[in-house]
Each structure stands twice: as C-alpha cells, then as structure tokens.
Structure 1
Amino acid sequence: MTAIISEETKLRDEIVSVGRSLFDRSLTFGSTGNISARLSNGDMLMTPTNASLGSLDPARLSRFSAEGVHVDGDKPTKEAFLHQCMYCQQKMSGAVVHLHSTYAVAVSILDVVDPTDVLPPLTAYYVMRVGKLPLVEYFPPGDPALATAVAEKAKDSHAVLLANHGPVVAGKTLREAQYATEELEETAKLHLLLRPHKVRPLTAVQKAELLSRR
C-alpha cells in the first residue's frame, strides 16, 4: 500500500511540475490545455476542468479508474476523452499532453497542409520524438465525434494535431510526452518562420534511419 501511495504522490507532483513549466513558458494560456498520466494499476490522473496548468493543486487532480470512470478529485475536463482515445490506441503510453500552443495551432489553421503528416521533417529530434503528425478534422471542443476521429488517427501515430485547436501527444512517460509536445511546437514555429523560403527537410532515407533508432 505504501508503494502505491508513494507512486501516486510522485505522479501528482510531477503533473503539477510539468503543468507549471508549460504555463510559465507560455506554451499554454489561461485554463487551456490538460495533462494526464497513468498509474501502474491502470488508473489515470488528469488535470481538472477550468484549472490553469500554472497553478495546479496535486490533491485536486481528477482520478479515473482503469475503465475510464471518474472516481475522485475535481470535475474532469470535457476533453478527457482525448486522453482516453490516445491510451486506447497507444497501449504503451503512460501519459498524454494536450495544449493549445500558439505555433502548433497556427499550423493547424493553414489552408494547405498534408493531412496525413502536417509538418515536414525539419530536424532530427522532431523525427525521433514525434515522427508523424496527422491532422484531425475540426469538431467543437467536447464533441463526441472528435473521439472517433482522434482514435482513427492515433492508430498509427502517438501525436495528432486537432484542426483549429491544438496538439495531443502521448508518451511512455510524462516527461517523454512533454518533450515531444515541446519539439512539435518548436518545429511548428520553424515551419512558419521558413514559409517564405525554400527549405531542405530531411530526406526519406534520413527520416527512416532516425525512426529505426526509436
């Protein structure tokens, strides 16, 4: 029992720490964005509704059973299903980060993108940490149809970009999900900065070689 309590306490504190870091660096604003992480027994901790990631209370995080039922803590965000969809499709994932980060959202609004893989392979770390970024068509926040769309795209990718909304990224650990989300945001920024110029992305061979290392 002590080990379980210790694990949960540590994970609650880590969610608070990551949330504050993302907020302080303007990767999320107001009460936007949400974070979740899974315990070893399958239960899930998640940031609650109307909570700023910059001032989370570890004791008030929403807790879900392994079956996805809210069992404790504050009222969960209406976007909880985004996290549950990612866990269902990405079985090895231990955490999910969803942000409304500026550059990723900007890219999601562009009229001409490849919906199967929105961002080009500009850097090695983007390829290794994100790899592929399919675009999920627009649905209003909380729309149940969004769950179906996310689940379909997440079959082949641990990161998706919601049109006119923001990224949802899964990782084996919370830090992995955080770092992948940050790499996605920086690559989106690079992509927008470079739009007036001719670019030289990594080749298909270079990308494949990097993906083989993951």
Structure 2
Amino acid sequence: MTDITKLREDICRFARALHERGLTHGSTGNISVRTPDGGLLVTPTGSSFLTLDPARLSRFDAELAHVEGDKPTKEMPLHRAFYDTRGTAGAIVHLHSCHSVALSMMPDVDPNDFLPHLTPYPIMQLGRVKLLPYFMPGDAAIGDAIRGLAGKRSAVMLANHGPVVAGKSLEAAVYAIEELEAGARLAMMTRGLSPAGLSDGDVAALVSKFDVEWDD
C-alpha cells in the first residue's frame, strides 16, 4: 500500500468515525491532509463523512493546484491559511459539533481563551483556542482572520459555525478536535453551576510540563 493510498483510507476511516459518533452531521465538516509530495488531500464539497470514497477525494499538487478528484470543500480558504501560517501543520479538521457551537454563542465567553479551564487535556492538546467572529461559510475572510493569528494558535472556533484544528498528523488533529468538543460539552453541562475548575497555578504547571503553546 502506497503512502497516498493509506492517507486516502485514513481520511475516510476517521471521517466515518466522527460522523458515527455525532461529532458532525449530514454533509458538514471537512478534512485536509498533507501528502508526501507537499500537496493536499481534501474532502469534497457536499460530501458526507459517512460515505466518503477514497478515490474521489480532492487532490492538490505542491503548488495547491487541483489536479485530481471531486471539487474540494468550499472551506479551502481556512485550510490554506493554516498551512500557510503553521509550518508544523500536517492535517486540518473542521467540524460542526453541537456543544462547541452552542458555547460559541454564549455572551460571556472569552474570545482569546474559548474553553474554560475545567480539565487538563484541552489545555495540553489545544493550548488557548481563539474564538473568531461569525463569517459566512466559505468566506475568504475566514482565511484572513486565521492568517491574522500568525500561526500562534493550533485551534480556532468559528462563532455560530464550528471548530477548526490543525495537527502534526491526521490522528493528532482528530484527537485534538474531539477534546475541544468534549471540553465545550463539559462547559455547557456545568454552565451556571460554579464548577471548581483548574487554578491558574494548575494551568501554568500544565503549560510548563507539556510545553504547551500558550500565546496571550
């Protein structure tokens, strides 16, 4: 099995698992992965994570020209922006997961630090998550907003829309975005209950111990 064949199958396998667990729905969400030649494999526009065909994934060459497969997701601007600004990005996952979207609409959320510090793993896997304002899906302005972060965030939350996470590998990006949704779900479950979250000292220790990106 060639590297590119395995990447195609991995994208479809992870996408199906995300759909089956209700982390995205219908034809929402998109994934891109760097190929060994510097190009990209991208999920097609209008496709369901449940029924992706490995052979029909959109393929781009190293100059990001579309060379094979179906028409790519309309969210290419956000994918390009992450790859352009984060040299470590090997994969990007964007979902429309319900709890993170719900949390993005709450009036008292910190735009610079979207997830409350309730448990260690969102901090360890994501660092600070930046909440970006609402943009129409597919708007090139989403890419501009991500570029404006200058590669300092591995994860953003698009208000009223969904999370986007860049990882060194597809597996890492999937696990991190699952952690983001789990953190948002916990935040919504405990909202208004004054939960005992992590202290500033606890957060600082995690950032130091696990070398977490913690841009202010």
Instruction: Supply the AA of the counterpart residue of 1:199.
Output: P
1:69 aligns with 2:65: yes
**Using the alignment, how far apart are the partners of 1:198 and 1:206 within structure 2?**
18
- Residue 40 of structure 1: CA displacement? 2.2
The residue number in structure 2 matching 1:130 is: 126
Q: Offset of 1:45 from its aligned partner?
A: 0.3
Aligned match of 2:112: 116
After TM superposition, list the pairs within 5 Å mapping 1:10-159 onto structure 2. Answer: 10-153=6-149, 155-159=151-155
What amino acid maps onto 1:200 in structure 2?
A
Instruction: Indicate the SS of the match to 2:129.
Output: coil
Q: Is the 8 A contact 1:46 1:63 kept in 2?
A: yes
In the alignment, what sits opposite 1:175? 171
Q: Which runs of 5+ in 2 are unaligned?
A: 212-216
Which has the higher mean CA deviation after the structures are superposed, 25-34 or 150-159?
A: 150-159
Regions of 4+ moved over 2 Å: none
Q: Deviations over 1:34-53 (max 9, x none)?
A: 01110122111010001000
Q: Could you tell me how far 1:65 is from its partner in structure 2?
A: 1.8
Aligned counterparts of 1:154 and 1:178: Cα–Cα separation in 2: 22
TM-score by length of 1: 0.94
RMSD between aligned residues: 1.3
State the Cα distance separating 1:78 from its structure 2 match: 0.6
Distance of 1:69 and 1:204 partners within structure 2: 46
Instruction: Give the whole-Å Cα distance in 2 for the aligned partners of 1:49 and 1:172.
Output: 24
Alignment of 1:165-204 (within 5 A): 165-204=161-200
Show CA shifts across 1:58-116 (max 9, x none): 00000112222211110011101111111112111110000000001111111221111
* Contact 2:77/2:139, CA 8 A, preserved across alignment: no
